[in-house]
Structure 1
Amino acid sequence: MARPHVLVIPFPAQGHVIPTMELAQRLVKQGIKVTFINTEVNHKIVTSNLQVDKDGFGDLMQMVSIPDGLEPWEDRSDVRKLILSILQTMSGKLEKLIETINTEDSNKITCVIADACMGLAIQAAANLGIRRACFWPASVTTLASTLSIHKLIDDGIINKNGLPLTDQIIQLSETMPPIKPENLVWAAFQDVPTIEAAFQLFVKAEETCKMTEWFICNSTTELESAAFSLYPQLLPIGPLLATNRLANQTGHFWQEDSTCLAWLDQQPPSSVIYIAFGSFTIFNQTQFQELAFGLELSNKPFLWVMRPGMTKETTDAYPDGYIERVRSHGRIISWAPQQKVLAHPSIACFISHCGWNSTLEGVTNGLPFLCWPYFGDQFHNKTYICDIWKTGLGFNKDEAGIITREEIKSKVELLLSDKTFREKALDIKDKIRSAVNEGGCSQKNLNNFIEWLKEKNTDDKDQPDSL
């Protein structure tokens, strides 16, 4: 029997590419051939930062690109333009790529695994009669709001274009995090045209997920039991990074600075504040300087990831003399090998934007959080951390909407002085380990999914029409 050959495609954003790459590597380790699709722009970035595969299975993974429909000089940070281009052009390009691959009888694509935000890939696979599976890289709470789109419209919470009509708190179930309508993942953008474009993407996701036989999620019932109870067709297989013992991530858009690990080696156990805000957060100059002063006032060692473009200031973003003053106990880098950093014994806590990848990496390593959400689902994840798991604290803003240096200093002291946060975090860490280890729920689901991929490819007419 020919080796199964799956095509895997993420939505072209950092927070989607990394966990989808992790899934692809899991499949490769089980002898499944993977063709991983990035947009042309992301393909160049990811492959230039790709680590050498030390496990010797690189021949089973091929990285391929397709156009996103934009011209090379166009701005990919214009989310509306990118989404509309993807929706209008990529399905046809993907179908042509699959047809080209399938001209080789011994190399045919047997299944398409698509990020749910790339419903167009599910549609393309259906058009070609190829088996299909959806992968959701974010929290299941975020996905639940997507699967509830029609109910949200019927209840008058959003209009047919996804725009919030009310301030009414959304509570999909009693034990799930409450959601403000403006924090729905598509509604978090600043302008109406971008919200409407993003909503199209999620409507497509809701439609095409019904065309798949499997819907796997990068989460676990130990973290989101209520969400999985509400949608039992969603199967937890994560957190995928929890079983990555070497913590070698791939799919980064920036070059990692691994020299920080040697610096961490020189710090006392549980002493360092780690600060990172992901790939999307942007600070105004006032807020950025308050953060800098707050870290200085905490008088603790800190490792701060200052991503290029995180402030609009290109030079002199830091307060006068700041770098010299903190040089003895602070380290500032442009991008970190985050999983390795968070696993380091010197880390005491994580000041985070609460993206799902960062959230999973923090809880997997038993760390308490200081939560600083910026966008969309990050607010849901903060609710998990602060109110449900109780492994962290949030910051309060002043009248001007600024988190002040005094507030930062105060919350750092409160978090690190109360051992309860660390104890609860370590308890969750143990539960996650049990889920992803042999015999755990997530591990069983992943094994069953892999066995399904290895089955003899069936005709599309034999597949169920919906989950």
Structure 2
Amino acid sequence: MGIIPHFLAIPFPVLGHINPLTQFSNLLTKHGCKVTFLHTEFSHKRAQISAKDGDSKDHNNINYVTLPDGLDHEDDRSDLVKVLLSMKSKMPSLLPKLIEDINALDPENKISCILATFNMSWALQIGHQMGIKCAVMFPFSATGLVSALFSPKLIHDGILDSDGNPTKSQEIQLAPNIPMMNPKDFLWRSLGKDFFKFMMQEMKDIELLAEWWLCNTAYDLEPGAVSISPRLLPIGPLMEPDNNKSSSFWKEDTTCLEWLDQQQPQSVVYVSFGSLAVMESNQFKELALALDLIDKPFLWVVRPGNNGEKNNEFPDEFHGNKGKIVSWVPQKKILNHPSISCFVSHCGWNSTIEGISGGVPFLCWPFFVDQVMNTTYICDAWKVGMEFDRDENGFISKEEIMKRVDQLLGDEGIRERSLKLKEATMKNLSEDGQSSKNIEKFVNWSSK
């Protein structure tokens, strides 16, 4: 055995990045590695507040450290590009000293690898300058990674302009064995041209500095995308249990598990739109009315600020007596509960992976970033879900919601494919499974 690897894990401070990196960090500690996890001060404070009523003592042997993100406390951190640029200007000057301080505490076991999520290549640059190994984790699909990687070629071929906008409406195939997609649905499109320029530079830096590109996916899910580069390691599905309180910004309501125990098998419609999506007030009310009208029990996650300034105003005629409304849940446990019939989801990548790992059919309601791309896989490639139809204003009516729920739950083929996809995906975690071998390969590399 070589040295005990000591990872410095650095996520971009949104749950979609923090959660998979936390889960992978927990896995690394089980492989005998040491992990120091770097939060921004703001994120760490939020996580501590959400954990204060729970058992926050056991962090699975992960040590937590913090640095400021460069923003004032009252700044709007829902503006992700603003957060990103502030961190990039503030944190690089502070990181070397933090690394030296961590190393001074345990000189025999210094940081040997920086493991950062996408958006954080500045940390890889610091690692490179300090002679530390570097790897990157992509919190979206391998196909999302491929679209970012191929963006210079798409510009060269005239499919995109220099701001990342499609030059015409068309479907393209990024590589063999990847579904046809419209470039208007690529993950940078909802974030604007400044983010596209940032992403292009980020990918150049990652190609230069990161020896491994880790992805929470499995070969069976995206065979075409994961074959693009020998550096791309599928390590998913990451299925560490939701017991690490510091990886959530809201307190989990576990009473929903007892409520689910009282429901019939495959009867409950589970509705959750993740940690970032904000639903317009009229659409929120329409969804509430639809859930009332569906002849099924429902579990609806309405996190604080779920529909912006209105702060979750339910329509006067909403009863909600067939369902349970909660602010945040241990989602993996929910999706593996026998009473869940389907998942009404924004189709963020983490939720997509968790739904697949639970064998649950999807009703897709994508908002932005990579969610439309993931919906293409769910509905067209894997055929384990359906998408809602919208009117010319992008509105989804209660009649459409009711119709789709009925259609989906009446489709035995979708349920069978969901269970088969679960089985094929989870095989990757068996001892001789592809993802398990990749994790072993990564740990061995980091211990040399």
TM range (shorter): over 0.9
Post-superposition offset of 1:174: 4.1
2:266 is matched with 270
Partner of 2:286: 290
Q: How far 1:85 moved relative to its partner?
A: 1.0
Where does residue 318 of structure 1 map in the other structure? 314
Cα deviation code 1:187-206 (max 9, x no counterpart): 213xx4xx313531452133
Q: How does 1:105-116 map to 2 (within 5 A)?
A: 105-116=107-118
Match of 2:256 in 1: 260
Corresponding residue for residue 417 of structure 1: 410
Partner of 2:436: 443
Q: Structure 1 stretches of 5 or more lacking a match?
A: 456-467
CA contact (8 A) 1:84 1:197 kept: no
Q: Distance in 2 between matches of 1:399 and 1:179?
A: 21
What is the aligned partner in structure 1 of residue 187 from structure 2?
185
For the pair 1:95 / 2:96, whether they are aligned, the reply is yes
Deviations along 1:36-75, one digit per CA (max 9) or x if unpaired, are: 0111111112233346478x774x3111111111122211
Displacement, 1:184? 2.1
Partner of 1:375: 368
The Cα of 1:101 is off from its aligned counterpart by: 2.2
Structure 2 CA distance for partners of 1:257 and 1:433, relative to 1, 3 Å: same
Distance across 1 between alignment mates of 2:301 and 2:276: 13
Please tell me whether the aligned partners of residues 139 and 356 of structure 1 are also in contact (alpha carbons under 8 angstroms): yes
Q: Which runs of 5+ in 2 are unaligned?
A: none
Q: Is the 8 A contact 2:70 2:90 kept in 1?
A: yes
Superposition map of 1:77-226 within 5 A: 77-104=78-105, 105-189=107-191, 192=192, 195-197=193-195, 199-226=197-224
The alignment status of 1:393 with 2:395, answered yes or no, reads no
For residues 413-462 of structure 1, the C-alpha deviation after alignment (integer angstroms, 9 at most, x for no partner) is 0100111111000001111121111100001110111122223xxxxxxx
The alignment-based identity, stated in percent, is 44
CA contact (8 A) 1:183 1:377 kept: yes
Letter in 1 for 2:296: K
Task: Work out the CA distance in 1 between the residues paired with 2:87 and 2:255.
Answer: 37
Query: Aligned in 2, Cα 1:158/1:96: closer, same or farther, shift over 3 Å?
Result: farther
SS in 1 for 2:201: helix
**How high is the TM-score relative to the length of structure 2?**
0.94
The TM-score, its normalising length taken from structure 1, stands at 0.90
Aligned residue type for 1:399: E
Taking a change above 3 Å as real, the CA distance of residues 107 and 265 of structure 1, as seen in their structure-2 partners, is same
In the TM superposition, residue 338 of structure 1 has moved relative to its aligned partner by: 0.7
Q: SS in structure 2 opposite 1:102?
A: helix
Q: Which letter maps to 1:29?
A: K
Contact 2:305-2:311 within 8 A present in 1 as well: no
**Any idea what the Cα deviations from partners look like across 1:139-181, whole Å, max 9, x if unmatched?**
0010001111211221223344434444333420243133333
Moved more, 83-92 or 427-436: 83-92
TM-superposed CA distance for 1:102, in Å, is: 2.7
Q: Distance in 2 between matches of 1:333 and 1:283?
A: 16
Residues 344 and 365, structure 2, Cα contact 8 Å, conserved in 1: yes
Question: Who is 1:74 aligned against?
Answer: 75
Q: Cα distance, 1:316 vs. partner? A: 6.9
Please say if residues 304 and 332 of structure 1, whose CA atoms lie closer than 8 Å, have aligned partners that are also in contact.
Answer: yes
Alpha-carbon separation, structure 1, partners of 2:205 and 2:165: 19
Q: Which moved more, 1:288-297 or 1:389-398?
A: 288-297
Provide the C-alpha distance between the structure 1 equivalents of 2:183 and 2:50, rounded to a whole number of angstroms: 37
- The match for 1:61 is 62
SS in 2 for 1:113: strand
Cα distance change, pair 316–428 in 1 and its aligned pair in 2 (3 A): closer
| Corresponding pairs, count | 443
How many angstroms does 1:341 deviate by?
A: 0.8
Deviations 1:118-148 (A, max 9, x none): 1111111001111111111210010001111
CA deviations 1:329-384 (Å, max 9, x no partner) are 11111111111111111100000000011001100010000000001210111011
Distance between the aligned counterparts of 2:279 and 2:316, measured in 1? 18
Q: Given residue 431 of structure 1, which amino acid in structure 2 is its aligned partner?
A: A
Match of 2:243 among 245, 248, 269: 248
| Secondary structure of residue in 1 paired with 2:222 | helix
Q: Which amino acid aligns with 1:183?
A: D
Greater displacement, 215-224 / 395-404: 395-404
Q: Is the 8 A contact 2:11 2:120 kept in 1?
A: yes
Deviation at 1:9, TM superposition (A): 0.7
